[in-house]
Amino acid sequence: MPLAISGVVIVADRISKTSIQHSINLFDSVSVVPGWVRIVHTENAGAAFGLLADGNALLRTAVLVGISSLVLLFVASSLWGRGTGFTSPGSRIALSLILGGATGNLYDRIFHRTVTDFLEVYRGTWSFPAFNVADSAITIGAILLLIDLVRPRGKGVEEHARLAHK
């Protein structure tokens, strides 16, 4: 299951980014929900939200590829390592989304030196930095992982839920 979920994220990410690159000129935008959501073609040389976008390109790429590779190793070992504690379906789905998203963005960093971002949420003069399918998968995965990690577990929780339904 983790490979299938990650694979779907990677394929959706590649298709969406390639589609944007071939159909919308850099910095052009198309309104999807006027006043709220638009598709805008941007290329992000930095990390999330344009962090580290300035500076030495080779050093930036090496640092970002290195960090992404470490994240991928951690997620993969959490999914397939023995005794990791990430055995619940919720945490496995979350990690699979993170794995797919991180792989999608790492592919861009290695082969294009930038990451294509294209979804922008805005209102008036305020706008959230553009993002992509991989970023969305990472964010959703992280939220699901946090929910799964803080969710109560154990026999006492099950007993409490059973009594509450009587």
Residues 50 and 140: their CA atoms lie apart, in Å, by 20
**Mean per-residue pLDDT for 30-46?**
93
Label residue 115 by pLDDT band (50, 70, 90).
very high
Backbone angles phi, psi at 142, to 5 degrees: -65, -40
Q: How confident is the model at residue 3 (pLDDT cuts 50, 70, 90)?
A: very high
Q: What residues form DSSP beta bridges with 44?
A: 115
**pLDDT tens digits for range 46-98:** 665 555 566 666 776 777 788 888 988 989 888 888 777 777 888 999 999 99
Q: Is 148 a catalytic residue?
A: no
Please report the pLDDT score of residue 78 as a whole number: 86
Confidence band for 106, pLDDT divided at 50, 70 and 90: very high
Find the mean pLDDT for residues 15-27: 97
Where is average pLDDT lowest: 26-30, 139-143, 154-158? 154-158
For residue 89, the tally of other CB atoms under 10 A from its CB is: 9
Closest CA to 41 of 7, 16, 67, 58: 16
For residues 124 and 30, is the Cβ–Cβ distance under 8 A?
no
Among candidate residues 13, 28, 54, 117, the one labeled active-site is 117
Do 144 and 136 form a contact (C-beta atoms < 8 A)? no
- In one-letter notation, the amino acid at residue 52 is L
Q: Give me the pLDDT at residue 61, please.
A: 73
Segment 105-125 shows an average pLDDT of 93
Phi and psi at 154, nearest 5°, equal 110, 175
Give residue 31's pLDDT: 96
Out of 2-11, 46-55, 71-80, 152-161, the most confident range is 2-11
pLDDT value of residue 40: 97
Residues 6 or more apart in contact with residue 77 via CB below 8 angstroms: 84
Which is the catalytic residue, given 13, 28, 108, 135?
135
Question: 54 or 116, which is more confident?
Answer: 116
Greatest alpha-carbon pair distance for the chain in Å reads: 64
**Overall pTM > 0.85:** no
Active site residue 28: no
